[in-house]
Amino acid sequence: MKFQKIISVLFLTVTFSMLSHAQLQLNGAGATFPAVIYSKWFDEYKNITGIQFNYQAIGSGGGIRQISEGTVDFGATDGPMTDQQLTEAKSKRGTDVLHIPTVMGAVVVCYNVPGISKGLNLSGETLADIFLGKIIYWNDAKIKKDNPKLSLPNKAIVVTHRSDGSGTSFIFTDYLTKVSKNWSAKVGTGTSVNWPVGLGGKGNDGVAGLVKQTEGSIGYVELAYAVKNKILYANMKNKAGNFVEATFQSVSSAAEGAAKNMPADLRVSITDAAGKDSYPISGFTWLLVYKNMKDEAKAKAMVNFLKWSMGKGQSFATDLYYAPLPKAVVKMCEKNINSITTNGKKIK
């Protein structure tokens, strides 16, 4: 009997202590690409403050839908919401949705050409023509022009692309749309597009698998995936005319190049950015938050977390293969973070 009493007392104290520390919880959902750094951030932030952020990586589409429906406290996306989606969300939720860039990623062009083990250079138009099915052999004059030192074989090009909808495809097609009129007229930008040629692989690993197995193939994967798996990728010609290798520095400098002309709402594509060191196929990933939040405690937690992510949070980026935001962009983000209110009042 005594034993039972002790146990029940123990239970009571545990329950009480849990109640007194009633944990604040914020729920979010969205893009899969930044899921790794988000879970690291949320974990670190919970250790510091005890506030719990839950994140479900269900894809950008789901993130946008859920923030419009109000089923989450924040969303996340790899491609910015359209004007139409923003007005729709505003009419449903009665407040604006803000885009806060968190980290950056890049897309690299991987290839498998017999006899070429490094240093393939590609320009945007050439890449677009390959993916349009106009350039079909590796020893095409246009590829040769950018690679005078390489001996390109007379081998058919096998184009591979993502079959699942993804932010990676969004950034890649956004770049091709900017650099090629033909591409923008025939295909356009999107998380999934109507690819004119090629084989589709599911996920980064699917495309990488296709490229690895198929001689003469070309494809695209996330920079993080390529670095982690030591995949060979091409140097891309940027707006300034230089061939640039994708690194975290060259990706961050693309954002720096684009920062001067950035709109206040930070919904911006930074593909084909200016600057001599900029890697041209780069992009932001965004957190989506409400401009005015009803729950004061949650609003405060959200704002404090976002500020933390812009400061200390950025230092985790490169270890997890993301490019950190340049200072100029962080400043713009902080301005937007400070504009978040709770029931119309500023957050102290």
Partner 1 sequence: MDNPETQVNIENPNNKSNSLWISLKGQLKKFLSSHNIGDFIFERLTLLFAVLVFLLVILMGYEMYVGSKISIDKFGWSFLTNSVWDPVQEIYGALPIIYGTIVSSFLALVISVPLSIGIAIFLSEVSPDWLEKPLSFLVELLAGIPSVVYGLWGIFVLVPWIRTDVEPFLSEHLGFLPFFRGAPYGFGMLAAVLILAIMILPIVSSISRDILRSVPQSQREAALALGATRWQSTKIVLKDAKSGILGATMLGLGRAVGETMAVTMVIGNRAVISPSLFDPSYTMASVIANEFTEATSEMYLSALIQLALVLFVLTIIINAMAKLLVWSMERKLGTR
The nearest distance, CB 322 to partner 1, in angstroms, is 19
Phi, psi of 272 (to 5 degrees): 55, 45
Q: Which is nearer to partner 1, 36 or 199 (CB)?
A: 199
Lookup: tokens for 342:
């709770």
Q: In sequence order, what are the beta bridge partners of 341?
A: 292, 346
Q: Which is nearer to partner 1, 198 or 257 (CB)?
A: 198
| Contacting residue, 163, 271, 285, 342, with partner 1 by CB under 8 A | 163
Q: In sequence order, what are the beta bridge partners of 75?
A: 29, 288
| Contacting residue, 191, 250, 253, 269, with partner 1 by CB under 8 A | 191
The long-range contacts involving 116-119, CB below 8 angstroms and separated by at least 24 positions, are 116/150, 116/152, 117/232, 118/232, 119/147, 119/149, 119/150, 119/235
Contacts with partner 1, 109-138, as mask; x by CB under 8 A = ------------------------------
The nearest distance, CB 191 to partner 1, in angstroms, is 4
Q: Which is nearer to partner 1, 190 or 265 (CB)?
A: 190
Closest to 237 in 3D by CA, of 265, 277, 289: 277
| Contacting residue, 28, 206, 275, 280, with partner 1 by CB under 8 A | 206
Q: Which is nearer to partner 1, 52 or 209 (CB)?
A: 209
199 forms part of the interface with partner 1 (CB under 8 A): yes
| Contacting residue, 167, 280, 324, 326, with partner 1 by CB under 8 A | 167
Count the site residues for partner 1 by CB under 8 A. 38
Site for partner 1 in 17-76 (CB under 8 A): 32, 58-62, 64-65
Element (H or E) spanning 302, and its range? helix 296-310
| Contacting residue, 42, 195, 279, 290, with partner 1 by CB under 8 A | 195
* Distance from the Cα of residue 103 to its chain's centroid: 7
| Contacting residue, 181, 202, 327, 345, with partner 1 by CB under 8 A | 202
d(CA 100, CA 282): 16
Residue 225 region by backbone torsions, left for phi larger than 0, else alpha for psi between -120 and 50, else beta: alpha
Lookup: tokens for 201:
């692989």
The nearest distance, CB 168 to partner 1, in angstroms, is 10
CB-side neighbour CA atoms (13 Å) of 199 = 16
Name the residues that contact partner 1, by CB under 8 A. Answer: 32, 58-62, 64-65, 79, 81-82, 85, 156, 158, 163-167, 187-195, 198-202, 206, 209-210, 213-214
